[in-house]
Structure 1
């Protein structure tokens, strides 16, 4: 019984460590940006404000920031 508890703790620790590594990699990934021309050519339109940034709405590049 004691060995089963040790193995369960080791598996849980390994799983949590794996999640930490995956989360760090995802957080460092750059958000893709498109130009205003790419947004409109892809069927979308530009929306947003200078304070909050501009984003493509609809079309092929929906949700991506405009550079």
Structure 2
């Protein structure tokens, strides 16, 4: 996914999470004979996606590898 703007994606997902939490999500909508259904999103996975995109946006490393040390005993 090299073409993704991670900062913009984090903002978009955060707005989506806010809409879900506030109850603005539409469950079902009808327009004449056409019907559209929206389903509840998984909030934990959405929060993980937000954290992923915010991490790539900031450019900071969050995890570091443990270094081995020489112990001559």
Per the TM superposition, whether the score is higher than 0.5 is: no
Question: Which one has the largest radius of gyration?
Answer: 1
Which structure exhibits the higher relative contact order, with contacts defined as CA atoms closer than 8 Å and separated by 6 or more residues? Answer: 2
Q: TM-score, normalization: structure 2?
A: 0.26
Higher percent of residues as helix = 1
